[in-house]
Amino acid sequence: MLLSMPQRPALDPTITATNRALSLKQLRTGAFMIGGGWPGEIDEQAHTCRTTQESIDGNWAVAAAIVPALAPMRPATSWCGLEGDAFDGVPLIGSVPRMQGLYLAAGFSGHGFQLSPAVGEAVAQAILTKHEPASLRELNPAREGGIA
C-alpha cells in the first residue's frame, strides 16, 4: 500500500483497472491510498513483510497512468501486510462458535478494500442488534469446513 501527501479533493470513487494491479482512492484527508496486490518481501517465520522499491515504483506508475495528476508526486509512506485467505476463498463473517463475544470479519482474499464499507455496516448492525443479517448467514465462520 502507498499513501501520498494530502492533495486537493479530485477523486470520489475507488478505482481499479482492467489487466493492471491497482486499487486507488482518495481519502477524506486528501491523501491518495494506492494498492493492488504488489508483492512485498515476506518473512514467513516472523509473519512479517516489507515493501520493495520495485513494487513501490510499479504501483505508483500504474496509478499515475490512470490518474495523471499523481505523476509528479511520490508516496509519503508505504507498507505491506500478509493477505488473509479463508479456506474456501469466501470471507468468514459472524460470531465464532464457543468463543462468546468474538465476532470475526476476515479472509477477504484481496477484496477487503472494496467490500469493507458494506461489511462494516452489516457487522455493526449485527453486533448492535445481536441479530445476524440474512446477507451474512452464508458467510458465517461455522459454515461447513469452517471454524467449529
Over the stretch 102-135, which tens digit does the pLDDT of each residue have? 989 988 876 676 778 888 999 999 999 988 888 8
Which of 114, 122, 107 minimizes the C-alpha distance to 25? 114
The answer to whether residue 19 is domain-embedded is yes
Segment 13-38 mean pLDDT: 90
Which of 105, 82, 109, 83 minimizes the C-alpha distance to 92? 105
How many Å apart are CA 2 and CA 36, to the nearest integer? 10
The answer to whether residue 128 is domain-embedded is yes
Q: Are 84 and 47 within 8 A, CB to CB?
A: no
Confidence of residue 101 (pLDDT cuts 50, 70, 90): confident
CA atoms within 13 A on the CB side of 117: 3
64 and 39 co-located in one domain: yes
Segment 34-59 mean pLDDT: 92
Is the pLDDT reported for residue 60 higher than 90?
Answer: yes
pTM of the predicted protein model: 0.68
Whole-number percent of the chain with pLDDT over 70: 97
58 and 101 co-located in one domain: no
Coil, strand, or helix at residue 8?
coil
67 and 97 co-located in one domain: no
Q: Print the domain residue range for 22.
A: 2-78
The answer to whether residue 67 is domain-embedded is yes
The answer to whether residue 38 is domain-embedded is yes
Return the pLDDT at 113. Answer: 66
Look-up: residue for cell 462458535?
A: 97
In the chain, how many domains are there?
Answer: 2
The answer to whether residue 84 is domain-embedded is no
Confidence of residue 31 (pLDDT cuts 50, 70, 90): very high
